Amino acid sequence: MATETKKFPSQTTSAALDARAVASAQALAAHVVQAKGHGHGGTAMALAPVSHVLFSRVLRHSPAHPDWPARDRFVLSAGHASLLLYTQLFLTGYGLTLDDLAKSRTLGSKTPGHPEVHHTVGVEMSTGPLGQGVASAVGMAMAARHESAMFTPGSALLDHTTWVLAGDGCLQEGVSGEASSLAGTLGLDNLVLIWDDNHITIDSGTDETFSEDVRARYRAYGWRVLEIDTPTDLDALEATLREAAERTGRPTLVALRTVIGAPSTKFSGTSAAHSGGFGADELALVKTTLGFAPDAPLHDLVSPETLEHTRGALTRGERMHTTWEADLATWATREPEAAARWRAFRGGEFSTAALDTVKLGEPGDKIATRKTNGAVLRALQGQAPLWGGSADLAGSTTVEVDGDRFSAANPAGEFIRFGIREHAMAAILSGIALQGPWRPFASTYLVFSDYMRPSIRLAALMGLGAVYVYTHDSVAVGEDGPTHQPVEQIGSLRTVPGLDVVRPADSVEVVAAWRRILASPDRPVALILSRQDLPVLTSTALTQAGVTAGGYVRWQHGDGTDLAILATGSEVHLAIDAATQLADEGINARVISMPCVEWFAEQTAEYRESVLPAALRARVAVEAGRGDAWYRWVGIDGQVVSVEEFGESGSGPEVLRLRGIHLDAVIAAAHDTLTSTAGDRTTAHGTPELITN
């Protein structure tokens, strides 16, 4: 065992007890998978030695203080090997039991099939889609470096390491390559990627699909590469992992050559070891090889002596945490103002008063919502925990804030240049949010949201407060043509559970939406903004409440009980123009601006009824995108004015008219629904308190 240091305090140990702990971890994985008939034991068995060394000798963690801000983060990117992580959480004292391991992959258990953050104590991120953990670990490392530079420059008080364990599959996915390239450029030497180089994937050996020189690729990214050729030598593992955690100006790849399924003689080194049980006979041989009775039940696979030994992590962690608390107190005495700012940051304390300074314009002024959004970000800089950047489009999406960029030389930088890496950008945002309590943002054109979709889904599943700023929101993009004109993207994003899709109508709604976004730190947001200038609409004091509710009456003629026109974004002013013309025909219409259907859907039935009465069956929805989802709101008697084909290259107004988004189309749809509902139309209840005209 290596010499004790402040960074790596020792844990009472012995070669015999360490060997038993590793054997127990391997036997548990094989036993649980065989008993259930499903699961992934092969990787958990092969990586038991390195996971034991990491959790017992190297990782800066305290099981009694799982939310310790200065702890190391461990991300299991190869999430199918969840038993590896659950076993270490059990052995080191995070609250799991052997029964929890036995119940893995069952409904309601603490040990789901893939790790889930906020579900199992000690799990830092939900993983499973390969490569995501690698990319989000880059975000964690970036956020850790940024926080340290912002609050404790020149001090190691907040310095810690982000560890990520990945397999061949993770490194084949493009998202990991995008993120690793950026990590090298940024010199993230607080990031260590342990690569399980076992040459096996589900279908075959990697020689059929993955013959590149991974080590050379990572060196080309700017990473340091360390080798471990003997994955069972615990002292050698410890020495290499300690070296990997050194600050050298570069992230580190630890290439760990393992044999999947070891020590099974039948399944070791084969694709069959990836998932499923080994069979009763082979399991008995594995147990015998590991020093257990061939028929040993689950609870006999971890002796009291072994558990007492591994639970030494509690004592080791308490020592580290206590030392850090003392260092924190010393720093707070020496730097009280910085300490107060850091505690406020960590406590989620911030002001949104700066939003009051954003210039909204007067009714009739024309301002692109992307421009107002940029003004919001600049106003909130330094006031709210916003931090982010763009995929090489900051000038166009207008999200760049004042100050310098984040870099290896300037980790306190106010703005992130992600490069043209949309998928990695979204996954990195998840890592920044997980590191917390940042509200990270990133921007690109809406049509490129498809590149980000897997990471967005995972952020929604984890309940992370990431903000995806999408501009150029419709075929109004114009001359760039159909490759850059989103059509299906808004509707597609709305299908993601837990994702708020917000499309403001004007500058007033942009600012109002940000008030709600900042108050909802556990929900990701897709903020959809216009490239073209949009008229600032008449507003009242109730506009803020209406936007917060997701939908409200923005304009109304008379009692508004003849017709409802629902619209979002750039189509709200078009809806008002149509309603104004219909008013000349004696039709009492209400225009419902619905910047976020998710927010509106979660309101009380009474509120929804006040805005969109059930008796008001003559309804039109208008949005410059696919209209499928709007039938939920207009019903079988309603009409939807939408874009159902790809666009064309031409000016924005020309393409909008060509694809049916124009005044005549809305008027025609209104007449159609009024005609179809004329025979059974009843008087609906108006909402005079929301009338704005």
What is the C-alpha to C-alpha distance for residues 361 and 609, in angstroms, rounded to an integer?
32
What is the C-alpha to C-alpha distance for residues 504 and 512, in angstroms, rounded to an integer?
9
**Structural domain tally of the chain?**
3
Instruction: Tell whether residue 200 is among the known ligand binding residues.
Output: yes
Q: How many residues comprise the chain?
A: 693
Dihedral pair phi/psi, residue 390, rounded to 5°: -145, 155
Are residues 576 and 628 located together in one domain of the fold? yes
What is the C-alpha to C-alpha distance for residues 549 and 600, in angstroms, rounded to an integer?
5
Are residues 302 and 362 located together in one domain of the fold? no
Are residues 243 and 363 located together in one domain of the fold? no
Pair type for strands 386-390 and 439-445:
parallel
What is the C-alpha to C-alpha distance for residues 34 and 25, in angstroms, rounded to an integer?
14
Catalytic residue among 124, 400, 422, 509: 422
| In a domain? residue 557 | yes
Are residues 299 and 153 located together in one domain of the fold? yes
Single out the residue in 273, 300, 319 at which a domain terminates. Answer: 319
pTM greater than 0.75 (yes/no): yes
Residue 196 · residue 47 · CB < 8 Å: yes
Instruction: Tell whether residue 484 is among the known ligand binding residues.
Output: yes
User: Domain of 593: which CATH number?
Assistant: 3.40.50.920
Handedness of CA 223, 226, 227, 230 (dihedral sign): negative
What is the C-alpha to C-alpha distance for residues 600 and 451, in angstroms, rounded to an integer?
28
- Tokens read off for 658: 């060509």
Are residues 274 and 367 located together in one domain of the fold? no
Are residues 261 and 371 located together in one domain of the fold? no
Are residues 292 and 177 located together in one domain of the fold? yes
What is the C-alpha to C-alpha distance for residues 207 and 392, in angstroms, rounded to an integer?
36
What is the C-alpha to C-alpha distance for residues 112 and 127, in angstroms, rounded to an integer?
11
Pair type for strands 589-593 and 552-556:
antiparallel
Instruction: Tell whether residue 130 is among the known ligand binding residues.
Output: yes
User: Domain of 435: which CATH number?
Assistant: 3.40.50.970
| Residue 498 C-beta-side C-alpha neighbours within 13 Å | 15
Are residues 98 and 198 located together in one domain of the fold? yes
From the number of C-beta atoms within 10 Å of its C-beta (0-12, 13-18, 19+), residue 493 rates as: buried
DSSP symbols for 85-101: HHHHHHHHTSS--HHHH
Are residues 415 and 555 located together in one domain of the fold? no
Q: What is the mean pLDDT of each run of 10 residues along the chain (693 residues)?
A: 67 85 98 96 97 98 98 98 98 98 97 98 98 98 98 96 97 98 98 96 90 97 97 97 98 97 95 95 98 97 97 97 98 97 96 96 97 98 96 96 95 97 98 96 98 98 98 97 98 98 98 96 97 96 95 97 98 98 98 98 98 97 97 96 98 97 98 90 41 34
End-to-end CA distance of the chain: 77
What is the C-alpha to C-alpha distance for residues 640 and 405, in angstroms, rounded to an integer?
44
- Tokens read off for 645: 């084909």
Task: Give the DSSP letter of residue 680.
Answer: T
Residue 500's pLDDT is what? Answer: 98
Task: List the Cα angle 576/612/589 in 5-degree steps.
Answer: 35
Instruction: Tell whether residue 693 is among the known ligand binding residues.
Output: no
| In a domain? residue 665 | yes
What is the C-alpha to C-alpha distance for residues 683 and 639, in angstroms, rounded to an integer?
20
Are residues 315 and 402 located together in one domain of the fold? no
Are residues 310 and 365 located together in one domain of the fold? no
Instruction: Tell whether residue 169 is among the known ligand binding residues.
Output: yes
Dihedral pair phi/psi, residue 275, rounded to 5°: -145, 155
Instruction: Tell whether residue 396 is among the known ligand binding residues.
Output: yes
- Nearest Cα residue to 438 out of 518, 330, 554, 356: 518
Q: Is-catalytic flag, 422?
A: yes
Domain that includes residue 515, residue range? 353-454+467-475+501-535
386-390: strand order across its sheet: 415-417, 386-390, 439-445, 467-471, 525-528, 500-502
Spell out a b/e string for 344-356, using b for 16 or more CB atoms within 10 Å of the CB, else e: ebeeeebebebbe
Torsion over CA of 389, 392, 395 and 396, rounded to 10 degrees? -110
Instruction: Tell whether residue 40 is among the known ligand binding residues.
Output: yes
Instruction: Tell whether residue 61 is among the known ligand binding residues.
Output: no
Residue with tokens 């690698």: 134
- Tokens read off for 505: 């109508």
Is 208 in a helix, a strand, or coil? helix
DSSP symbols for 638-652: -EEE---S---SS-H
Residue 205: strand pairing partners: 200
Instruction: Tell whether residue 190 is among the known ligand binding residues.
Output: no
Single out the residue in 271, 294, 319 at which a domain terminates. Answer: 319
Instruction: Tell whether residue 573 is among the known ligand binding residues.
Output: no
Instruction: Tell whether residue 168 is among the known ligand binding residues.
Output: yes
CA 360 to chain centre: 31
Single out the residue in 319, 338, 370 at which a domain terminates. Answer: 319
Are residues 293 and 383 located together in one domain of the fold? no
Label residue 569 left, alpha or beta by phi (over 0 means left) and psi (-120 to 50 means alpha).
Answer: left
Instruction: Tell whether residue 198 is among the known ligand binding residues.
Output: yes
Cβ neighbours around 265 below 10 Å, total: 11
Residue 647 · residue 481 · CB < 8 Å: yes
| In a domain? residue 483 | no
| In a domain? residue 324 | no
| In a domain? residue 127 | yes
| In a domain? residue 462 | no
Residue 104 · residue 113 · CB < 8 Å: yes
| In a domain? residue 408 | yes
| In a domain? residue 288 | yes
